[in-house]
A and B are shown apart, each in its own frame.
Chain A
Amino acid sequence: MMRLLMRMLIIMLLFLCTGCWDMREINYLAIVNMTAADIDPKTGKFIAYYQVINPTSMSAKQSGPTKASVYTYTVTEESPGLLTEKTNTVMSRMLFTPHLQCYVFTERYANQGLRDLINYLEQFTDRRTNVYAVVTDAPLQKVMYSFTPLDRIPGRNIRMMMDWQARSLGMSRRMTQLKDIVEGIPLSRPTIVPMLHFHGDGQASQSDRVESIDAIEPGFELADGAVFLQAKMAGKVDRDTMTLFFVLNGEASKSFDNLKVNGAHVDVEANHIKVKRYWGKSRLRITIHSNLKVLYNGQKSPLTARNAHQIEMAFNKSFQKQADQFVQLAKQKHWDLLGIGDTKQGRGRWRDFDVTFDVSSKATVFGNTRTPYQ
């Protein structure tokens, strides 16, 4: 009996030897770093760009084509589900997406709505949605066919840029990931996604690009924001509004401002911003408290407590004004930028709320000069 069992066991183990179904050798992978999606306005077909890392360019021991850090593949299909299969026709390696750093969408595609794409991405776990997303107003060819200096992989470049911006805004979470758009679908508050601009006429598609000293042109710029409602792009806001959006919703704790005090320019950084909301009936009072760090002081007079107070007052006033404009903008565009509609108090009637701001600040850091040189 035992011998029979042993034989059965061996047969079962042999059965395992036919295994390795999911084996994929690391050097047979096309490691996708950045993906872009667009829609062909004429045919309505879905166009996907895959930017694939060229591993040999990354290693210390260089062999093979080493200068180009990435290659971009383009695939066109009727619907997103068939894209992966279609890549076989142009790629010699297996599409490997878990290392995606960034999604890029064109404005026209974002205007149409990302819901189809999101459903496609969330369905299988080798695709990911906790990846940065940006919307670009430039033609996609330019963006996807450009090498970037310093961080030679464009996807990583954009990602690091966004991480760095988020850090300088004191954000505790990532700036915008695709899943934020997903989570924003049922909410009344829109999601704001950074926009990618492109400088320069032609694309920088030759790897010689990285030998040029001019890092700006041709190149990317990450500024401004695209507003998404129900996974559909509804409009654009400028960079300051986007910052304010993060600050007033309690997601960022820093902002920057250029003030006029006694007729001179004073630049400040507001940090440790604390935002609190007090609800009344159809009234919302938001208190904002922050510490100020003076980054530049153009005043010719020595610093005094009184002067510091003037700076604080100027900041309060300026911030209040910006905040009021922010609310105006929201009402005018019909965007619930403060997320009032997502709360118990304001569900379904966010427009009826009268929002007031109460700004207070304390100047804490002045740097190394007490009295400016005359």
Chain B
Amino acid sequence: MRLLLLLRLLARDWRAGELRLLVTAVVVAVATVTAISLFVDRLQAALLSESSTFLAADRVISSSRIIPDEFRVAAEQRGLETAETLTFPSMVFSAQRNQLVSVKAVSQRYPLRGSLRISDQPFVQGARTDTVPARGDVWLDSRLFPALGLAIGDIVTVGVADLRIAQVLTDEPDRGGSFFDLGPRLLMHIDDVPATEVVQPGSRLLYRLLLRGDDGDLADLRSTLDEELAKGFRWQSIRESSPSIGDALDRAESFLLLGGLLAVLLAGVAVALAADRYARRHYDHVAIFKTLGATPADVQWGYLTVLGIIGIVAVSVGLLVGAGLHLSIVGILRSYLPLELPAPGLKPLVVGSVTGFVCLVAFALPPIMNLRRISPMRVIRRDLEHAGVSRALTYAFAGCGSLLLLVWYTDSWWLTAWTLVGVLGIVVCFGVLATLLLRGGRVVGMQAGNYWRLALAGLQRRHRESVAQILIFGLAIMLLLILLLVRVALVDEWRQQIPDRAPNHFLMNIVPEQLGPLEELLTSRVDYKGELFPMIRGHVVAVNGQSAAQWESEHRHPDAPGPRLSSERNLSWTTQLSENNRLIEGIWWGEEEVEPQISVEQDYASSSHLSLGDVVDFNIGGISVSATVSSLRRVEWDSMEPNFFILFSPGALVDIPATYMTSFYLPADEKRFLNDLLSQFPTVTVIEVDELIRQIQSIISRVTQAVELILALVVASGALVLIASIQASRDQRLAEHALLRALGATRRLITGSLAAEFALLGIFAGIVATIGAEVTAYALQVEVFELPYQLHPWLWALGPTLGLVFILLIGMLGTRKLVNSPPVAVLRELD
């Protein structure tokens, strides 16, 4: 068919409002996805960059050896920012006392992410600064001031150099996490290090090269340096170096993605409804075209062209609307999200466009393609029922399209399969429920008044449509209710990961003789649970008789994340697994003596290719120990409790001298306790993770807000489906009510029965939704969070009320015109 004719028909359809629904549905799909994905994209980038402050950089190369200058040069050639740090333990001296500290010497640009905080008196919050100690100056941790009996302006001796105390260091971004970075901090300029003469061969040194810049440049640098890095340098990103934050980010990502998915599926339903309606309203057009000589092929290509034009227009508008929507989300949330959102990439726009076209193809194509099969006989026999698209075909298309989008978004067949199964399950259950409600309603309706009887009869007559509508409304309302229910559970669960009084200080290097007095002190002064972990440093030398290096080169993927097998690490032994460890394979040794066995953390095991039965040889302070892998564990890293990649059975390390580690909770205003502790046990190392925990909690709460927002968007697209499906049934309702009016029914009766119809639909949908929400919440609570379950009585009032109000409102607005227009006009419009 000629393009001009097609465009003319398209324009007329548009003006007559025939296309509004279809275009709106596509626009909503595209806009929702674009908005979500723009927002998620930027939020993720922001969260990631905020998390980067825990590294003080985007990536870090670290080593116990000097980092070659070529690394820095190569990084700077790629436009990356760099900074250097050198960390080492050292004794420092004041006039009267001395103290073991962790010295960090930094270059001028440090830190590349986050900032230092300083003040002129100890134990306050301090203010941000973007400088580092000047040459000849040092900044000290608060608790070094009482420990060394010093004040600002005094001189402290590091090695052989005398340095002036210029500031109190109250916070540094990359403080948390590392268990090797021990003791209170002394921050100095890196150029002063040679003068101290403390850096000798054999000192425990940690060199770090901090990098900041574009992800691509960073990846490029990594691959260029790959060979060099393998020679004892560690490449760190935030995900590897701080698993707890990595986990929080991963969870956020899946939640947001699933939210987006639901929105698209809902919009897909709206597209399908709208396209079917559009096609039905074109049956007569097609029949006329065919009598005038249009071939089925003409018809098909004509309508495909129309669909293509609709697609291009709707997708473009959708992208614009989505971008606008996302801007207003950002605007609204600006005060909640004290995050600098980076500029978005192009990917969200691609995601939006592809989604729009896939939606059209999957949901709109079957009824449109079917137009070619309309019989020209329709022109002489209007009553000729066209069979419509075969349901199997429609579902197959919709199923394939959804599958495609699901896989594309989640990048996971597993998640896709479960989402589909979930949706299908809900559809089937809801369908059955809706049918029962309609049946039951009719029985009750027999005794009811005028309006209700009319309404129930109408719903019953359009049984299939009514069930579909209850199903769709029910789904949308259910999402809203689940949002209410789960939001609370979700946030609580995240909060519970780090309970309010979770240990936030770790003590290490406790020698056995100190255990008694130390526990006494802790029990009397702080929140102490009394869990002690023996700790022994050691490394793996061989696996199944193969040297560790050889084992790794054969079995470990060079890019595999996580720590390397052969590097030195903290080992421990225990008789009981702590709460945040779960055995996933093998068996746990009991209290009794057993052959030396080890239990390995699952990710560590899989990246190092260790499995049950492997025999691993260790070198522990010169003593060799051999043990069999007897179990694998999953560790909840975000619990912030002491955890070990490798745990030994109790008897295995009996003869090896161990130090102990423990943890306790100390509120922020009692930090001075550390002074008492350290003056009594000067050799004990304190690690403060309170700041890290606070930071993780702030990230979690932001992520929670983002999840809430996305769910709200999903609900919004659910509302659109409501409108679409009310629109889809409008013609039939119009016809019926016009007929009633022609037969003498008053406007009041019509309005009343129409309102009753929507009210019933709303209430039924609300009931279905409430049941669905309760079941889902039950499953989540009992199966996932393992909490006892209680019904929510308020939900049973809220669900149906919400359905009633929502659908009555949308329904009456959508059909306002039909009640007010004279019956003839309505009949003629439909003819």
Instruction: Tell whether A pairs with B.
Output: no
Binding site for B on A (CB under 8 A): none
Residues in chain B within 8 A of chain A (CB atoms):
none
